[in-house]
Amino acid sequence: MPRWKPDARQRLVVAALALFAEQGFDDTTVAQIAERAQLTRSTFFRHFGDKREILTAGQKALSRLLVEGIATAPADATAMEAVAAGLRRASSEMTSFNREVGPLLHAAIEANEELRGRDALKSVGMAAAMTEALNRRGVAGPAAQVAAELGVLAFRTGFSQWTDPERDQDPGELATHTGAALDALRTAAAELR
């Protein structure tokens, strides 16, 4: 087995998600993941602490991108405009790799109760990061929380549409999907009065 190959982290993610889909999360070992990726176990552990981390690997980066977008929104932007800026920033960093692994990630999470719980915590973490970023912009507690939660829901909805394997057309840019999802949520929220 070669000692070094490029894109080890991505290859480990693809191998793990494929194995999770084939045989389930619980029945997949780190050794199997490393073997499928044509890497060693030690290479796996250089990138991930355990196999669960594969499913939350991008959480910190995604939260950071959302916060960056909110922070760099124009000073006079409303809370929702700042959230939209965060969605655009995060969406701009998603690549075809993210789109390709989206369905595998979704299948692995849906098939395992523990992973569904971790996924829910991921959403909580994203919302908390966005809420803090909005607070720093002077948006008060409940308004910041609602805006952040809508942002998380818009990202998840848009990402799900963008990665949907049933789409028979070019999915376009993720930002288009997350922006449309945020607009739909804003409209729905306005109708709740």
H or E segment and range at residue 93? none
Residues 74 and 151 in one domain: yes
Q: For residue range 147-190, what is the model confidence (pLDDT) as tens digits? A: 999 999 999 999 999 998 887 677 789 999 999 999 999 999 88
Residues 75 and 12 in one domain: no
Indicate whether 126 belongs to any domain: yes
Of the candidates 157, 161, 139, which has an alpha carbon nearest to the alpha carbon of residue 148?
A: 139
Cα 39 vs. chain centroid, distance in angstroms? 25
Residues 128 and 154 in one domain: yes
Residues 112 and 30 in one domain: no
Examine the fold and report which residue of 18, 38, 53 is the final residue of a domain before the chain moves on: 53
Residues 116 and 186 in one domain: yes
CATH number of the domain where residue 140 is located: 1.10.357.10
pLDDT for res 5: 56
| Integer angstrom CA distances of residue 135 from 39, 142, 147, 152, 188 | 44, 10, 11, 16, 24
Q: For residue range 43-66, what is the model confidence (pLDDT) as tens digits? A: 999 999 999 888 777 788 899 999
Residues 99 and 165 in one domain: yes
Residues 46 and 92 in one domain: no
Q: For residue range 10-45, what is the model confidence (pLDDT) as tens digits? A: 899 999 988 988 888 889 999 999 999 999 999 999
3-class DSSP assignment, residue 21: helix
Taking the alpha carbons at both ends of the chain, their separation in whole angstroms is: 62
Assigned token pair, 47: 């990138």
Average pLDDT of every residue of the chain: 90
Residues 105 and 42 in one domain: no
DSSP 133-165: HHHHTT--HHHHHHHHHHHHHHHHHHHHHHH-T
- Find the range with the poorest average confidence among 57-66, 107-116, 117-126: 107-116
Assigned token pair, 91: 């969406």
Residues 46 and 64 in one domain: no
CATH number of the domain where residue 33 is located: 1.10.10.60
Domain span at 129: 58-190
Residue 144: pLDDT band by 50, 70, 90 thresholds?
very high
Residue 6: pLDDT band by 50, 70, 90 thresholds?
low
Residues 93 and 29 in one domain: no
Assigned token pair, 169: 């057309």
Residues 144 and 75 in one domain: yes
Contact 155, 149 (CB under 8 A): no
6 DSSP 8-state letter = T
Indicate whether 23 belongs to any domain: yes
